[in-house]
Chain A
């Protein structure tokens, strides 16, 4: 049990719509990262938040955006959904700091865009 929880577990949206995915970090973790995993591929880094500030971004367009809240929970928002956005979205939390960077992942949200 990692302590990282994501909601919802599954979601179906129509192309062009907007979606919000949620993540509750493990207690005591101030760093949260989001990843996209297409079928048969490894996860791809979307972005990371540290103490409510974006702290790094992968090769994803601006329609992918996020928030981190004071309690370190986080949201991933995707606007103008495309069919290729269909994937498993994973949230990971870390304690932060260079001494312990082990990442703990949630169970993911399966997004299907039709």
Chain B
């Protein structure tokens, strides 16, 4: 059974810092990995999708990497801003189109 773990559970950083969020998964047989952002009480906003054949994806200040063989992904956020404060979730899809999620990392960026 696929399990997804996100570390740390919460993170507080001063504005302007670069930061890394971690995601690990137990079964490396995945089709893709997706990073989402969730604001309190809201739905999920897709940030980046990495196919299993890819090593990384970039969008603006965000960069996500994938090491399928070791079951790890990182989300790098450059020059953090208070508007980046949210919970970040990673999810893997293992071929049945269903996503298995971690519990998320709650990020607070302090002005």
A residues with CB within 8 A of B: 2, 4, 6, 31, 33, 35, 40-45, 48, 50, 55-56, 58, 88, 90, 92, 94, 98, 101-108, 110
* Stretch of B59-67, B68-76, B78-86, B97-105 on the interface side: B97-105
Are A45 and B99 neighbours in the complex by a CB distance under 8 Å? yes
Are B98 and A43 neighbours in the complex by a CB distance under 8 Å? no
Are A105 and B46 neighbours in the complex by a CB distance under 8 Å? yes
A-B contact pairs, 20 of them (CB 8 A): A31-B97, A33-B97, A33-B98, A33-B99, A40-B103, A42-B104, A48-B96, A55-B97, A56-B98, A58-B98, A88-B41, A98-B31, A101-B31, A101-B32, A103-B34, A104-B46, A105-B43, A106-B43, A108-B41, A108-B42
The chain B residue sitting closest to A10, CB to CB, is: B41
Given contact pairs A4-B43, A35-B101, enumerate 16 new A-B contacts (beta carbons under 8 Å): A2-B43, A33-B97, A42-B89, A42-B101, A45-B99, A50-B97, A88-B41, A90-B43, A92-B44, A98-B31, A102-B34, A103-B46, A105-B36, A107-B43, A108-B41, A108-B42
Q: Interface range on chain B: under 10, 10 to 19, 20 to 34, or 35 or more?
A: 20 to 34
Q: How many A-B contacts at CB < 8 Å in the complex?
A: 70
Are A43 and B34 neighbours in the complex by a CB distance under 8 Å? no
CA distance in complex: A101, B99 (Å)? 10
B residues with CB within 8 A of A: 4, 31-32, 34, 36, 41-46, 49, 89, 91, 93, 96-104
Cβ–Cβ < 8 Å partners of B89 in chain A: 42-43
Cβ–Cβ < 8 Å partners of B42 in chain A: 107-108
Cβ–Cβ < 8 Å partners of B34 in chain A: 102-103
CA distance in complex: A44, B1 (Å)? 13
- The A interface, classified by DSSP as helix, strand, loop or mixed, is strand
Q: Nearest chain B CB to A84's CB is how many angstroms away? A: 18
Q: Nearest chain B CB to A91's CB is how many angstroms away? A: 9
Cβ–Cβ < 8 Å partners of B43 in chain A: 2, 4, 6, 90, 105-108
Q: Nearest chain B CB to A112's CB is how many angstroms away? A: 12
> Which has the most chain A C-beta neighbours within 10 Å: B34, B36, B41?
B41
